[in-house]
């Protein structure tokens, strides 16, 4: 039986308007529809195509001769992108991580772009499809790979990793204070029977984690940690951010949505450092002409308005940060 999993795009108008509108207001409400402006020219990148919500709206704001390159690791997302490409030839698809965008674009003769957007983390269809193994609320295989064509599954990793490694992953990527107890419980369980399903793991974690924030499942942080680790999400983000500065044309913009503190911290620190590169040298006896010049202008951040959170509860933790490339050469 074919099942269609829907995805409600988070911060849709704010994210796209941030890329194409010179009058963009980071505090604008999510309910504002498309802005009145001329169609945007140039090349744009959606590094996390998902099911194409941001891309479809962005295409409506682009000129006929513009190009949109879309990236995704998920084979199902690539299938959705191919359907969009059949409708709109401005779409160019790359099946791969967004960290490869610089190399992939260079290989296609694209050296600068006018806008880059990233919607980090996991999409609703990935969560809702039990066969992907991302959800602790649904019975499914312990997979958790965003790209199901490569890499080891969560089941395979949990069956072989040592206790110290499991503890460090859950602690560092999940910010879980019961990481050691969870790792020991996993070690004890696999001596008798392997962890094969999402509910196996969720129930084991729940038996160890006795207290949790109101409304949060005991296994939330553990599942997040394993998913981030297996998919190298933070490493991918770091590699991508280092590419952004060399890809963005002067006045080009980046718009990045994050959903947890580890991601948002990386984005925030990256923008702050690029916008004020002389901060660490402020106490040194340097002339103003010797100080490094800003590579980005911080345009601010925004979160989902009350109306969006009510319509789509998964948007409540989303943070959008926007920055604009300066004229300063690398």
Where is the binding site for S-adenosyl-L-methionine, in residues? 52-54, 72, 98, 119, 126
Q: Are the CB atoms for 195 and 155 separated by under 8 Å?
A: yes
Is 175 exposed, middle or buried (CB count within 10 Å of its CB: 0-12, 13-18, 19+)?
middle
Distance CA 52, CA 123 (A): 11
Question: Measured at the alpha carbon of residue 266, what is the angle toward residues 263 and 269, in degrees to the nearest 5?
Answer: 145
Q: Are the CB atoms for 262 and 228 separated by under 8 Å?
A: yes
H helices of the chain, in order, are 12-20, 53-60, 75-87, 101-107, 124-128, 154-160, 163-174, 179-192, 198-208, 220-230, 233-247, 261-275, 306-311
CA atoms within 13 A on the CB side of 58: 34
CA atoms within 13 A on the CB side of 134: 20
Query: CB neighbours (10 Å) of residue 285?
Result: 6
Residue ranges of the binding site: 52-54, 72, 98, 119, 126
Question: Measured at the alpha carbon of residue 260, what is the angle toward residues 25 and 307, in degrees to the nearest 5?
Answer: 50
Exposure string for 199-219, b = 16+ CB within 10 A, e = fewer: bbbbebbbebbeeeeeeebbb
Please name the residues in contact with 15: beta carbons below 8 A apart, sequence gap of 6 or more.
Answer: 54, 117, 119, 255, 257, 320
């Amino acid at each position: 039986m074919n099942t269609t999993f829907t995805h409600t795009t988070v911060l849709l108008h704010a994210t796209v308007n941030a890329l194409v509108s010179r009058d963009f207001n980071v505090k604008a409400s999510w309910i504002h529809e498309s802005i009145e402006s001329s169609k945007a020219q140039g090349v744009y990148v959606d590094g996390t195509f998902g099911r194409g919500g941001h891309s479809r709206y962005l295409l409506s704001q682009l000129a006929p001769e513009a190009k949109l390159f879309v990236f995704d690791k998920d084979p199902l997302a690539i299938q959705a992108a191919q359907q969009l490409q059949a409708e709109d030839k401005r779409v160019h698809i790359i099946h791969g991580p967004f960290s490869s965008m610089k190399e992939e674009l260079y290989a296609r003769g694209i050296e600068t772009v006018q806008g880059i957007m990233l919607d980090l983390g996991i999409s609703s269809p990935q969560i809702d499809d039990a066969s992907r193994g991302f959800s602790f609320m649904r019975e499914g295989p312990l997979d958790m790979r965003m790209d199901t064509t490569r890499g080891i599954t969560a089941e395979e990793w949990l069956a072989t990793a040592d206790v110290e490694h499991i503890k460090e992953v859950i602690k560092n990527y999940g910010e879980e204070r019961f990481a050691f107890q969870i790792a020991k419980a996993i070690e004890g369980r696999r001596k008798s029977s392997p962890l094969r399903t999402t509910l196996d793991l969720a129930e084991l974690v729940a038996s160890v984690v006795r207290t949790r924030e109101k409304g949060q499942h005991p296994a939330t942080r553990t599942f997040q940690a394993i998913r981030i680790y297996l998919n190298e999400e933070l490493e991918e983000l770091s590699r991508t951010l280092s590419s952004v500065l060399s890809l963005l044309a002067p006045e080009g913009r980046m718009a990045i949505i994050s959903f947890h503190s580890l991601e948002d911290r990386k984005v925030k620190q990256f923008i702050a450092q690029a916008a004020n590169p002389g901060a660490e040298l402020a106490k040194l006896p340097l002339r103003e002409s010797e100080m490094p010049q800003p590579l980005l202008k911080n345009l601010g951040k925004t979160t989902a308005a009350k109306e969006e959170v009510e319509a789509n509860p998964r948007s409540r933790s989303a943070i959008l940060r926007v920055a604009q490339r300066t004229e300063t050469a690398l």
